[in-house]
Amino acid sequence: MSFPCGPDTAQTLEILVFVQRQLADAVGRLTEVAARAVGVAAGTDWRTDAAALFVANAEAWRRDVTELADEVARAAEHLGRDCARVDAQAWWWRS
């Protein structure tokens, strides 16, 4: 990914850092949701067919949310590298 290095670089960097924080927040929230799914599934009475189906669905949902959290975390890491690159390339604009 290439970013412009010019007078707008500081604003671009601010936006990228903001997005990175938002992604980190999303990872935290998705992780909480996955943990709640485990708790809901664990608290379900497994003696009925409907409950067993619910638990299976909750587990599948937990896996999906966990995978999504991992994808968002990778995007945040990539964005972090881009922020560092923009910051390094634009050092001379701040002088």
pLDDT band at 52 (very low <50, low <70, confident <90, very high): confident
Global pTM value: 0.67
Which parts of the chain fold into alpha helices (H)?
9-42, 49-89
Q: How large a percentage of the chain has pLDDT more than 70? A: 86
Residue 4 predicted with pLDDT over 80 = no
Q: What is the pLDDT of residue 91?
A: 66
Closest CA to 74 of 33, 25, 39, 24: 24
Give the residue-averaged pLDDT of 61-84. 89
Domain boundaries, given as residue ranges, for the chain? 9-93
